[in-house]
Amino acid sequence: MKRIGIITKQNKPEAIKVVKELIAWFKDRQVECFIEPETEKFVPHPSLDREEMLISVDMVVVLGGDGTLLAAARTIQKRHIPILGVNLGGLGFLTEITLDELYPMLANILRGDYKTDERMLLEAHVWREESVIGEFTVLNDVVINKGALARIIELETSVDGEYLTTFRADGLIISTPTGSTGYSLSAGGPIVYPSLQSIIITPICPHTLTNRPIIVPEGAVTRIILRSKGEEVFLTLDGQVGFKMELNDRVEVKKAEGFISLIKSPSRGYSEVLRTKLMWGGDIVTNR
């Protein structure tokens, strides 16, 4: 690792402090590093915009939380460079390295002593009549959701061209295994081990209680057509990017060609992350 990019959650003072420390740490080890132009406002140092950075570096350090990593992942997937996600708050599902672990972990990485987890992505194409009006890549999920004052919406859903059902619900989530612990979990979806290759379809508050989440193969193409007229409906990508949908807009979701390589914590497995984040194994209160 000779050239490293640093992507930082903006407007977070503790992140700027860590960036300064990282620059000095890399300099002592004769490793070239780059920050983003937004960070250069606070730290005078050579910067590259995200697109330039990703064709120039051997690895990216993401400082922030899972949201910061999700935003970076949509660009990083174009190259399969490893990502070290460092959580500046509590433990994250994606940014599972703590500040205490950061420098020992970096020392291991510079020696080539590290392992990665490959995470699948989804790509979504949005059609309006006969034109594609949006193409997106996500690490977590594609969500179709009604506005705050809208009634139940109707979403005609097919898998590989075969009609599945028309969900009458508050919305629909199509997620990766990585995204199974996000919005999908809150909506009653299953936790899927992130190394599996599959796609989860989870209805949000369905009108028909027998509408349950379904897991489809990684190669499946899911098509959703909005059949509700006069309702406010939004498409959201990874909870960060989105726009308003119109009647008969259709969304086609399938596995993306690229993938994300997350550097794994040497001291913490996925089971421990689940136990910590979901507070499994704590004190249980019973009525006995």
Of 122, 123, 163, 155, whose CA–CA distance to 245 is shortest?
A: 155
Q: Which of 58, 66, 100, 117 is catalytic?
A: 66
Contacts of 236 (CB under 8 A, 6+ apart): 142, 143, 144, 145, 242
Chain centroid to Cα 4, Å, comes to 21
Q: For the chain, how big is the Rg over CA atoms in Å?
A: 21
| Torsion of Cα atoms, 234 then 238 then 242 then 248, to 10° | -50
Distances (CA, A) of 168 to 122, 156, 227: 24, 9, 10
The question of whether 58 is a catalytic residue gets the answer no
Distances (CA, A) of 265 to 15, 109, 147, 272, 280: 20, 11, 39, 11, 20
Neighbours of 239 (CB within 10 A): 16
Bridge partners, residue 128, by sequence: 131
Which SS3 state, helix, strand or coil, does residue 125 take? strand
Q: Which residue has the tokens 């009653």?
A: 188
Report yes or no: 172 and 240 within 8 Å, Cβ to Cβ.
no
Report yes or no: 166 and 156 within 8 Å, Cβ to Cβ.
yes
Q: Annotated catalytic sites, by residue?
A: 66
